[in-house]
Each structure stands twice: as structure tokens, then as C-alpha cells.
Amino acid sequence: MSCNSCYNGKHGFEGGLVSPFFICGETMSLFELLEPTIAGMGYELVDIEQSAPGRLLRVFIDKKEGSITLDDCVAISNHLSQLLAVENIDYNRLEVSSPGLDRPLKKKADFVRYMGESARIRLRIALQGQRNFVGTLVEVNDDVLTLNADGKLLQIELRNLEKARLIPKL
């Protein structure tokens, strides 16, 4: 990557992997490196998991139209293998997969996309004396999520979310 195409570190991501490394003298997370590449291929980077540095690197992808297939995972894996080699990122094994039926919700756009779906949410700071909620995603306005939990509409600031996952429909 040439210095003319450096990332400036201003691509915010709420949560996720923040293992910094340097590109052209600037600190950048692995998420910030992979996200535009994966988006350019027509997919969405949902999450990254990394075991002890230099070991397993797990990348979760999604796409708006349909389910992730094995061919999708192979295409992303081949592309990322080359990118990670060029960027000198140390890992032993790369796994690319779908986020699963209980997909994590990380970004504001995730909550908007899955309005009307049920989710399990854990807060950083308790609301009404509790940190864990299950309910239906109603809306997101001004970075505040409205969750219908047992008939009560709760207003939850997105920055207070520790973890959020869809509840699979079986």
C-alpha cells in the first residue's frame, strides 16, 4: 500500500478488534484495514476475532442479498491472504465464515437493517437496574436504540452497548 492510499484512522468502529499496527507511520486497526477491502468485493465485514497474536485470525462476513456460501468464503479468504501477506500481518490460520443466525450487531447500520427482529443485548452500564435485555428492535434515532422489552419501550444509547446479537428464528 503506498502512502497516497494510507488510511487516516478516522474510520470509527464501535467495538471489535483494535490491534493496532502501523501503515505509513500511522496507527490502524485490523478492522480498518480489512473493511474497505471486503466492502469493495461486495461484502460486509461483521467482526474479527484473533487468538493470541500470530495464531488464528477469524473473519466474519455477510452480504445483503442472500446467505454466505462456501464460494464467498473462499474468495474472501484468497483475497485476504494476499492482502495480509503484503501488509506483513502475522497469523498462522485464517478462517472466513458467516456470522451465523445469532449475528452480532456492532454498528448503527446493523440495528437499522434488522429493525423488527429480536435481539439479546448486554449493556456496559445498567439501565433500570439491569444490564441484560431481550426484545424487539424498534428504531434508532440520534444514536439511541429503542428496544421493546416485554412491552416496555427502552431508550438505549448505542455507546452503552457492550454486546448485541440477533435471536435466531427457528
- What is the SS3 assignment for 37? helix
**Predicted TM-score of the model (pTM):** 0.74
Question: Among residues 68, 97, 126, which one ends one of the domains?
Answer: 97
What is the number of structural domains in the chain?
A: 2
Q: What's 71's domain CATH number?
A: 3.30.300.70
Question: What share of the chain has pLDDT > 70, as a percent?
Answer: 82
List Cα–Cα distances, 166 to 66, 83, 159, in angstroms.
17, 31, 18
Q: What's 113's domain CATH number?
A: 2.30.30.180
136 and 124 in contact (C-beta within 8 Å)?
Answer: no
Across 33-45, average pLDDT: 95
What pLDDT, on a 0 to 100 scale, did the predictor assign at position 1? Answer: 30
Neighbours of 45 (CB within 10 A): 21
Determine the residue type at 26: E
Question: Among residues 97, 116, 134, which one ends one of the domains?
Answer: 97
Domain membership flag for residue 103: no
Whether pLDDT at 60 is above 70: yes
User: Cα–Cα distance between 83 and 109 in angstroms, integer?
Assistant: 26
Question: Domain span at residue 161?
Answer: 108-166
